[in-house]
Structure 1
């Protein structure tokens, strides 16, 4: 039986990943790590994770990826990581750039360092739009990057993942989600 860790698993995308893993027909042990920060509605996060509590193969850990001791305990036996944690928001990152930096860049680096002492086979990193100002359309991978403070933090996380593959052989992929919206969650903010 494989064990999967979904960071940010109580949020919109993470909870859908958990749902798919638990209902895929394969026997996955699933660990959801989420800090239930008030930036997103803790009540909504509770609603997102509540259906999974009936599964013996599901475990909810309410804590932060910046806690190194917790990460080392949580990673025991984990083979796959779906890293979905993010402190998002372009406008809020302009007002308070340290918040997304600490969660997105430092948190990801902390997770990557913890992974080096574990049995992780694959690491999937949720990235985001790191492009910034639009100078021409259509968006492409070769476009010059001029990101917001939020975009910078996500770009750092993406580059940390690349470096950990080059230096330490950690197989990973960074997926750039572009304008993911959960209308129910948007209404709660």
Structure 2
């Protein structure tokens, strides 16, 4: 198989590249990344063809998708707060970028297209657990761009018979996830704070809940989807129904780091969803053998990676 990964130098993308290089069915891997949030060093030592550029570049995508059997579209401008500061940039990167990917796939004779959406599309819909047939209620421009991504994939499936699959990611974390930028996710940011003796910043009262998903599990599902060519025009939650408050996450980090975590509360952020928990029924129907990594195992693995990265500054393959 010949596979293209957009955003393949980033956090999830580089983890997926590592996973796919271990599959004997995969003959060739191509990565497209503009390095706005990723790092080419994340792919060091891997047999990967790297094309630097943006998914809004149709000529680049024509070159990248030539002969491809599958495209895993992970390129995006992430973060709800970032989208609040610059909605147009979020739209161009995520919504227009996805449309360019789908058009390029059509020109390349229709490779299987798998794309990343987000649990943020549920937004203000308070129903728990979140199942894919719930009405969406985006609370941020970022969420709108991800809902648009799903809609475009479904439309291209029905209009042009393109084989597609979109996954709604729920708070993915794990080794390789940067903690040193303004839009860093909560788990690496808090682990980094604990390791360096800084207080963790809690937006609001900390009772908001999340369904954290280990990156290794995400890559296991993505790999299986590529190899079995799983097609589903409806979105699929990629999480397993776990639910933990941010306050309850702190003891997990304290146990894994061996440090007492100090807390600093600040006002709640605009656009933040109060509670998140996935209904995994559709996922388990399509991927019945997947076994998720528990938080009690995933947090220590993330601590080990970040301890080396934050304390020792050892070169790593992790990206933003």
When normalised by structure 2's length, the TM-score is 0.53
Deviation per CA, 1:92-147, whole angstroms, max 9, x where unpaired?
A: 21121111110110000011111111133311011111111252322222322111
Structure 1: runs of 5+ lacking an equivalent: none
The answer to whether the 8 A contact 1:34-1:63 is kept is yes
Bigger radius of gyration: 2
The answer to whether the 8 A contact 2:55-2:97 is kept is yes
What is the CA distance between 1:188 and its match in structure 2? 2.3
Rounded Cα–Cα distance in structure 1 between residues aligned with 2:123 and 2:26: 41
The answer to whether the 8 A contact 2:105-2:111 is kept is no
Q: Which residue of 2 aligns with 1:138?
A: 129
Rounded Cα–Cα distance in structure 2 between residues aligned with 1:146 and 1:88: 18
Alignment of 1:39-58 (within 5 A): 40=37, 42=38, 45-52=39-46, 55=47, 58=48
Q: Which residue of 1 aligns with 2:115?
A: 125
**166, 191, 209: which one aligns with 1:174:** 166
Q: Which residue of 1 aligns with 2:156?
A: 164
When normalised by structure 1's length, the TM-score is 0.88
Number of residue-to-residue matches in the alignment: 179
Moved more, 178-187 or 108-117: 178-187
The answer to whether the 8 A contact 2:33-2:51 is kept is yes
Deviation per CA, 1:138-181, whole angstroms, max 9, x where unpaired?
A: 22223221111101001101100100000100000001111112
Q: Which residue of 1 aligns with 2:9?
A: 10
Q: Which residue of 1 aligns with 2:55?
A: 65
Structure 2: runs of 5+ lacking an equivalent: 182-320
Q: Which residue of 2 aligns with 1:103?
A: 93
The answer to whether the 8 A contact 1:79-1:119 is kept is no
Cα RMSD over matched residues? 1.6
Rounded Cα–Cα distance in structure 2 between residues aligned with 1:6 and 1:95: 27
The secondary structure found in structure 2 opposite 1:120 is: coil
Rounded Cα–Cα distance in structure 2 between residues aligned with 1:91 and 1:48: 25
Rounded Cα–Cα distance in structure 2 between residues aligned with 1:47 and 1:143: 40
Q: Which residue of 1 aligns with 2:208?
A: none
Distance 1:184 1:168, change over 3 A: closer
